[in-house]
Amino acid sequence: MTQPYEWSVAEAAERIRDKRISSRGYVQALLARIRDYEPSLHAWAHLAGDWAEAQASQCDEDTVRGVSRGPLHGVAVAIKDNYDVIDLPTRGGSDLSDDKPAAADAVAVARLRRAGAVVLGKTAMTPFAAMDPAPTRNPWNGDHTPGGSSSGSAAAVGAQMCAAALGSQTAGSVLRPAAYCGVVGLKPTYDAVSRQGLMACAWSMDHVGVIARDVDDAALLFGVLTGAGPADSKDSDGQITVGIPDRGFDISDASDAEAFVGAVDVLAKAGAKIVSVEVPDGLQSLASAGILVMYAELAAFHRDLYSRRASEYPPRLRVLVEAGLSIAAPDYVNALRVRHHAAGELSSALAGLTVLLTPTTTSPAPSRQGSTGDWRFNLPFSASGHPAITLSCGFAKNGLPLGIQAVASHGREDFLFKVGRLFQQHSDWHKRRAPMKAGPI
């Protein structure tokens, strides 16, 4: 018999709907698991256990009356600390932020709750979604980073403290931690999900994102977040064409690259057509423009607070704010123009493909001392706004998870789910779980 913390979102929803478990019983099981492992994992910024139990009890009362709030009725989720959740402070991973409780839920949070989700609390993140590490550890090996900035969301899902969490991505802050923690991370098309109530990092590159343990759950949550319902493929019978870039996505260790080769082989054997894709010349320009835009917008967000409290800023963020302040307005405008042009080139390259497939990261999770890892494989697609998903595809020789990143044309999340489902139907990497032990990891 499986334990409640092992269930996917869809499995938990089904059991609660069928009254095989109450929402409160489910939430209590997750809270017990969190109590066991949080002292060593540090995934949570604010755990709202009593409130979660109260929300769950209200769901149970609705269940008794025959009322279902929606597809997430009674299922617990975690929210990254840069989203507003009513009556909780939005600290964005930093005590430099206003401690005042949010007056309303962010749109993404409201949509989850309207669909019946129970909020367990806020997850830890790097301060202001930048590069200074959060205290969170990787559930697969506590000496390694869970990635960032959605550190706690990825670690909590990877450690089976909850089945799904909200993250956010500006460069690689959903896909990278999801890959490092061996779970699924989805960054939808830019603007597909409202960012109202999400604390900005860099406005024109911030994306709402989802972290879950399988593709079906990611698709379910995406449908709830967009308000469009289940995100099924629009042309499910079509041939799947997977493009492999001819350069620019080399993994640092050749033996770790075997996992990517194996993943391509899984898709080929499952019927996908594999083609080599010439990477557009503009991809490097896209990444460069994205970095400049990100740093300039980050500096614009922080300029006032930084002018008053610079000495309290964490060291990496301080460097990044100063770098952003040094970027001249004509260079920022030019970066926007180049980004627009280069994103168009990338759209053309994606047009004939179901997805472009790359490794998600340059390596498995590095040591947690001072780094949240490298976002260079994710940043171009955050700059271009194309939707991307990461799927667990094996393990490095040091035992840490590795991921594949699939990227599709704007608005074609259904392609990501189609390829992702095919991959997970023909592999079992997504069923592997971190070998959690009670006490220090």
Partner 1 sequence: MSAKSPYPMTPEEVASYRAAVEALVAECLALIRDYPVERDADPVSERGQR
Which residues are the active-site residues? 80, 149, 173
- CB under 8 A, 24+ apart: contacts of 12-20: 12/74, 12/75, 12/76, 12/163, 13/71, 13/72, 13/73, 13/74, 13/75, 13/116, 16/59, 16/63, 16/73, 16/74, 16/75, 17/63, 17/68, 17/73, 19/63
Segment contacting partner 1 (CB under 8 A): 132-140, 155-163, 213-221, 424-432?
132-140
338 scored as a contact of partner 1 (CB under 8 A): yes
101 scored as a contact of partner 1 (CB under 8 A): no
Residues 23-62, one symbol each (x = binds partner 1 by CB under 8 A, - = not), give ----------------------x-----------------
Smallest distance, Å, CB 417 to partner 1? 26
How many helices (DSSP H) and strands (DSSP E) are in the chain? 13, 11
Residue of the chain from 53, 62, 258, 331 that contacts partner 1 (CB under 8 A):
331
Residues 363-382, one symbol each (x = binds partner 1 by CB under 8 A, - = not), give -----xxx------------
Residue of the chain from 31, 79, 134, 183 that contacts partner 1 (CB under 8 A):
134
154 scored as a contact of partner 1 (CB under 8 A): no
Smallest distance, Å, CB 86 to partner 1? 21
Residue 420 CB-density burial (10 A; 0-12 exposed, 13-18 middle, 19+ buried): buried
DSSP readout, 176-226? HHHHHTTSEEEEPPTTSS--TTBPPSSTTT-EEEEEESSHHHHHHHHHHHH
276 scored as a contact of partner 1 (CB under 8 A): no
340 scored as a contact of partner 1 (CB under 8 A): yes
Residue of the chain from 14, 61, 87, 95 that contacts partner 1 (CB under 8 A):
95
How far apart CA 50 and CA 53 sit, in angstroms, is 5
Helices in 195-309 by DSSP H: which ranges? 215-226, 257-269, 282-309
Size of the site for partner 1 (CB under 8 A): 41
Smallest distance, Å, CB 135 to partner 1? 5
Cβ atoms within 10 Å, residue 191: 12
Segment contacting partner 1 (CB under 8 A): 70-78, 94-102, 230-238, 270-278?
94-102
Q: Which residues of 237-255 are buried (b: 16+ CB within 10 A; e: fewer)?
A: eeebbbbbbeeebebeeee
**Contact residues for partner 1 (CB under 8 A)?**
45, 91, 93-96, 124, 127, 132-135, 284-285, 288-289, 291-292, 295, 312-316, 319-320, 322-323, 326-327, 331, 334-335, 337-338, 340-341, 344, 368-370
